[in-house]
Amino acid sequence: MSFLRTFANSFDPSRLLMLVIQAAVALLCIIIHECAHGFAADRMGDHTARRSGRLSWNPLRHIDPFGLIMMIVAGVGWAKPVPVNPGNFRHPKRGMAITALAGPAANFVLAYAALICMGFIYRSSLSLWSGPVYFLFVTLFQIASLSVGLGVFNLIPIPPLDGSKVLFSFLPDRIYFTILRYERYIMLALFALVFVGVLDAPLRLGINHVLRWLCILAGMPPAALGL
């Protein structure tokens, strides 16, 4: 009973609400990212994602549990890759590169839209510290920061991340398919680097730079967000 009393006394509803907001935002960023991959491939002639049910707003079709946890805890993460068959593209490597770039690009557009809304709230006469407005502002910031984090992380040119698909499009076919053969092992090494925090500093630097640049474009003062 003493444990329950201690828990009740220390329970902070606002913290729970923020965790729920962060989880919901992470799901939104993941869905936008993966659907962008699928739609880009679909428009270029590969309907694999459509047939697999991945052109869906249902988060359960896209979630990688560990990747979602990493997004909530560390601000960067990943989802289940959208299935793509390069053989269905007229130009396979170029098609893969465009499909790969579609995910991060969609995340940056989502972040930009959130920052535009934040700028409007910031410049308005509304008090940022009133309850509903504060949580709206915080939610928009979570959308911007997590979306940029997902986009920047996936642009790292290491398999299986999106950046590797872009890099591979410039490589000779022999090297390209050799690297793909070892993609699973490279992926395990990448997860290890993320787990031990080796990538934390460069990722944070990259995320802050992109956020600052998008803030300027959106009319939201970067200094107001500590950038």
Give catalytic residues, as residue numbers.
34
What string of DSSP letters covers the chain? -HHHHHHHHH--HHHHHHHHHHHHHHHHHHHHHHHHHHHHHHHTT--HHHHTT-S-S-GGGT--HHHHHHHHHHS----PPPP--GGGSSSHHHHHHHHHHHHHHHHHHHHHHHHHHHHHHHHSSS-TTSHHHHHHHHHHHHHHHHHHHHHHHHTSSSTTSHHHHHHHTTS-HHHHHHHHHTHHHHHHHHHHHHHHTTTHHHHHHHHHHHHHHHHHHHT--GGGGT-
- Other residues' Cβ atoms within 10 Å of the Cβ of residue 90: 8
Tokens standing for 42?
């679909």
